[in-house]
Copies of this chain bind each other. A is one copy, B any other.
Amino acid sequence: MKFEAVTIKDIAKALGLSTSTVSRALRDSYEISPETKKLVLEYAEKINYHPNPIALSLKERRSRSIGVIVCEIANSYFSQIINGIESIAYNNGYNVIISQSRESADREMLNLQYLTSRSVDGLIISVSTETKDFSYLKELHDRGMPIVFFDRIVDEIETHKVIVDNYKGAYDATTHLINSGYKKIATVSNAPALSIAKERLAGYKAALTDHGMEVDESLIKYCAHGGMILTEVEEAIKELLKPKNKPDAIFASADKLTTGCLRILRSKGYTVPGDFGLVGFSNTDLTELLDPPLSVIRQPAFEMGEVATNLLLQMIESKRPVTDFETKVLTTELLIRESTRKKEAKAKPIPSLLK
């Protein structure tokens, strides 16, 4: 009682034709008579024929599917990107296979092996925070697998990359905190090896110095797992809140870090934003549910997925190797959400709280 599909053979037998004639008729070949074509097409329609994509893959040595690896689909930033990827992929007849690394280098490797063994035609990937060894990816790339990196890119591999303007985003976020009256701004960052972390840190530092504030290394904390583990954020905050050098605001450089900071600060009794400033790279839709809502750096996620996919399909479908790789930089946007409260914050000097 297995699910049996209709094949080209069934049509050929039923119509007294050869399989090749049927195949050609279905592909609308010029060498088939209109009558035969009509006959075949109508019968195919009637019995609901669909070509077996597995056989096609085997024949054409391509699967018309692309692999996507992200750390976490539950993250709305990534799911928006996936939506962008899917929209372009589907329009071009490609399937999308999604897999999650959950910020683990091991799982990333497994997924990678799985996808390549499934013969995906190309790969769109945002590497996990934990990954330090890119040799497998490099080998894949050297062997001709089209790859596009996005968000968390790998500098060592020469291929297309799509990122947002991390420097500008961090700069804007920090400036917003400064303009809101906060005086001592810390940052909670991703693993320092990540390119995005570096750039965001640079933007943060630049904003401080441009506004005549000094960069204090003790106010810079790293979370190796990007906030996936809440305790690492807790640890970072705990250190920041030590009496000797307390900040009154934080720039959080990633989604999970922003929500992590928020949770911990609120659990400690702070009103955020208000007593304590917080702006971050967070696309979690729900930050707007907060009362007062949180300002965030919005990343053009959907568009990012689209751009990455267009580049990948271009690589896949070009006959000769692509050489002119480029790094597309999309622009972030500061979404100011706590406008009414911000004015208050500006009006009254921020009290030195953190008792």
Identify the A interface with B (CB < 8 A). 1-5, 50-55, 57-58, 61, 63, 72-74, 76, 79-80, 82-83, 86, 95, 97-98, 100, 113-114, 116-119, 140, 143-146, 259, 262-263, 266, 271, 284, 286-291, 320-321
In the A-B complex, the 8 residue pairs with the closest CB atoms: A74-B79, A286-B286, A3-B144, A1-B321, A3-B145, A54-B57, A50-B117, A1-B144
Structural contact, A263 and B289, CB atoms closer than 8 A:
yes
Q: A143-B3, A266-B289, A286-B259 are in contact. Are A63 and B54 (CB under 8 A)?
A: yes
CB neighbours of A82 from chain B (8 A): 73
CB distance from A339 to the nearest CB of B (A): 13
How many chain copies?
2
> Given that A286-B289, A289-B290, A291-B266 are known contacts, is A119 also in contact with B1, CB under 8 Å in the complex?
no
Interface centre among A1, A263, A321 (most CB of B within 10 A): A1
Chain B residues within an 8 Å CB radius of A1 = 144, 320-321
Q: Is the CB of B61 within 8 A of A2?
A: yes
Residues on the B chain within 8 Å of A5, using CB: 119
- Chain B nearest Cβ from A229, distance in angstroms: 14
In the complex the two chains form, what is the Cα distance from A117 to B65 in whole Å? 13
A5 and B113 alpha carbons, distance in the complex (Å): 12
